A and B are shown apart, each in its own frame.
Chain A
Amino acid sequence: MIRVESVCKSFRTRSAPKREFAGKSGGSRTAIDAVRDVSFECKPGRVFALLGPNGAGKTTLLRILATLLTPGAGRVWVDGIDAVARPEAARAHSGFLTGSSGLYDRLSGRETLSYFGSLNGMDRDEILVRTAELAQSLGFESYLDRRVGRYSTGMKQKLSIARTVLHDPQVILFDEPTSGLDVIGAKAIMDWIRRSRDQGKTVLFSTHRMDEVALIAQDLAIIHEGSLCYNGTLDGFMQVYPGRSLEQAFLDAVGQPSGLEDPS
């Protein structure tokens, strides 16, 4: 279970100088709100989709849930643990698949899993059993002992998923898990998410793809310019925009013309 209450996050950034050719020091530091007063809840045994255009604040929000970033305000609970007060404990109960595969090219798949298993406090036997289990279910047994640098994008993504769920976390966070994957790779990931949901895990994933949302999500939040435009069930969202496709409804929600309106 994930609970997010009134979370805000801003970054200090250097604004553009007012005068042209003012040089690098011409700008002043300003705060940009990446996430503004966001609240939602993800329940176990359900898949929660986080939708939003580029730069909406999806990754920042996921990084806050994964305790990589501390919120400026608000509270976050991951599997009942206060993630702001006890980030390491929260990380032990969650797995985060980051936007990039984030693997070590010079290690083999087995060494990668052994490394992250050790960091998660698993003993050698546990790691061996879990590695074999995940390699079989995700279908990468044959290249487990090959160096990651020689993996294809799809192979890397499978290993990343295995790395994410190796310690069998109750909460799983995916940041655009199918990005860059072919249809077969994407299907394998979707199947895995569905399986995790069926095992009673709390799954939250961010995506651009409406078909994936329609396929596996039960709950949905739409984030735009750091604020939530919608938070509820997928069915509920479709009722707000009757007669619209999910894509059209999404564009309406973020205030963009869908291009399907009658020009008159």
Chain B
Amino acid sequence: MRSLRIIFLKDLMDTLRDRRALIVSVLMPILLFPLLMLILVGVQTRLQETDSERTLRLGIVHHGNAQDWVNGLRNRKGISIVDGFGVTDITGKLDRDEVDAVVLMSRDYDEMHRSDTGTAFISLYYRGGRKLWVRDRISDDLDKLRNQLQDARYSALGISRDQLKVVEWSSVDLSSVREILGMVGGGFVPYFFVLIAFVGCMQPAVDLGVGEKERGSMETLLCAPVGKLSILGGKFFVVACFGLMSALLSVVSLFASVQMVSWFFPDAMPAMIMDTLWDLLRPGVILLIIALLIPICAVFGSVMLCLSMVSNSFKEAQSLMSPLLLVVIVPVAIGLQPGLDIGYRTLMIPFLNVTLITKAIIAGSATVGQILTCFGSMGALAIGSLLICRLVLNRETVWLRNT
């Protein structure tokens, strides 16, 4: 135990002096969220400004109908009316970006809305893939026009709008705001933290494993009267601690970033997003997520150290570790799908269970049994990977170069 502590402390100090490890495991997690928030704030502000300031170039094919409505739009600030073209030109005009949207009225529009029974048709053409904002800008006007004409017809028929409401149905979602936020935002929390913990573990694992073999210091260390288990243990704890430290720093960074946005850009982000973020940052949630990160980092530490030790070069170690990211990210991403049920069976699947339990924790619906199952599954994986690591590293040739 004494040797393990000595090796751990030395490797920790050594890694903390490694500039590359500091950039990847410390600086990056600290800067990630402030940068992300600044980008989000910038994009949101720009979108809000541009959408409201942008002039809508609206094409209208009205066949001489609805002159009043068209003239009303023509005089409206922020809308530029383009007319004088036919139905066959609609697609071409949109493709050539001469207009943002086209309103097509049926030829019998005036005739229909003046009659007591006919229906007049209006179609809105736009390219949502390019300009999603267009629909929002014109839909209010079209809704207003429809309601106005409908009310005129009801009045002509001598009935009111309410008389036609024979049946009205409604849906009542009993989910709390927290539950909805958990489902929407909860899945992304483990996705980020697992990724950061993975990256945080990678550099120390490569440096303390194959890096030491390449530099010859592993051979020197093996000459000391300490067991291989102590060496492995000391290095494992440093790698796992670095992963955990990266994830913790990113939690602090996320908290600071949200606080920063609240203080300096209170109106920049939609309230829904800010509420979600504050809800994610409740102390109970954070503590449980940090606790979950311990077995995750233990798994990363043992597997990465093992891969690093069996490699013959830095490059080989990195190429062996890259596929591991897929093995981790795929189940985490599957857990992001809405509607995936949390059950004891799904909670046994490593990494998928992390996403599911985090969503449940944020939503406030996680039970003690579910949390313990998740911890049990991840803990068993961590112990299993440590045992496999020890088994692989029993081969003496793994520890030395040129054997």
A11 touches B397 (CB 8 A): yes
Question: Known: A68-B400, A69-B403. Contact between A98 and B219, CB under 8 A?
Answer: yes
A68 touches B225 (CB 8 A): no
A100 touches B219 (CB 8 A): yes
Tell me the minimal C-beta distance from B281 to chain A in angstroms: 36
Stretch at the interface among A18-26, A88-96, A197-205, A236-244: A88-96
B220 touches A106 (CB 8 A): no
A96 touches B14 (CB 8 A): no
Interface residues of A in 99-146 (CB under 8 A from B): 99-107, 111, 115-116, 118-121
**In the complex, what distance in Å separates the CA atom of A11 from the CA atom of B7?**
29
A103 touches B222 (CB 8 A): no
Question: Known: A69-B403, A101-B216. Contact between A106 and B224, CB under 8 A?
Answer: no
Tell me the minimal C-beta distance from B54 to chain A in angstroms: 55
B396 touches A69 (CB 8 A): yes
A253 on interface, CB distance cutoff 8 Å: no
- Residue pairs across A and B with Cβ atoms less than 8 A apart, 5 shown, are A69-B396, A98-B223, A102-B215, A119-B6, A120-B225
Tell me the minimal C-beta distance from B220 to chain A in angstroms: 3
Could you say which residues of chain A place their CB within 8 Å of the CB of B220?
A: 98, 102-103, 116, 160, 163
Residue interface mask B136-156, A partner, CB < 8 A = 1: 000000000000000000000
Tell me the minimal C-beta distance from A3 to chain B in angstroms: 20
A91 touches B219 (CB 8 A): no
Tell me the minimal C-beta distance from A14 to chain B in angstroms: 13
A interface, size bucket: 35 or more
A4 on interface, CB distance cutoff 8 Å: no
A66 on interface, CB distance cutoff 8 Å: yes
Could you say which residues of chain A place their CB within 8 Å of the CB of B227?
A: 88
B14 contacts which of A100, A107, A163 (Cβ < 8 Å)?
A107
Could you say which residues of chain A place their CB within 8 Å of the CB of B288?
A: none
B6 touches A115 (CB 8 A): yes
A102 contacts which of B7, B217, B396 (Cβ < 8 Å)?
B217
**In the complex, what distance in Å separates the CA atom of A121 from the CA atom of B225?**
9
A194 on interface, CB distance cutoff 8 Å: no
Interface residues of B in 233-267 (CB under 8 A from A): none
Could you say which residues of chain B place their CB within 8 Å of the CB of A208?
A: none
A70 touches B396 (CB 8 A): yes
Interface residues of A in 196-224 (CB under 8 A from B): none
Question: Known: A11-B403, A68-B222, A69-B403. Contact between A98 and B216, CB under 8 A?
Answer: yes
Could you say which residues of chain B place their CB within 8 Å of the CB of A100?
A: 215-216, 219
A63 on interface, CB distance cutoff 8 Å: yes
Tell me the minimal C-beta distance from A155 to chain B in angstroms: 16
B51 on interface, CB distance cutoff 8 Å: no
Identify the closest chain A residue to B401 (Cβ). A100
Told that A68-B399, A119-B225 touch, could you supply 8 new A-B pairs with CB distance under 8 A? A63-B400, A68-B396, A94-B223, A98-B223, A102-B215, A105-B215, A119-B7, A163-B220
Question: Known: A69-B403, A88-B225, A119-B3. Contact between A103 and B396, CB under 8 A?
Answer: no
Tell me the minimal C-beta distance from B217 to chain A in angstroms: 5
**In the complex, what distance in Å separates the CA atom of A63 from the CA atom of B195?**
40
Residue interface mask B7-27, A partner, CB < 8 A = 1: 100100110011000000000
B223 touches A96 (CB 8 A): yes
Question: Known: A68-B400, A121-B225. Contact between A102 and B219, CB under 8 A?
Answer: yes
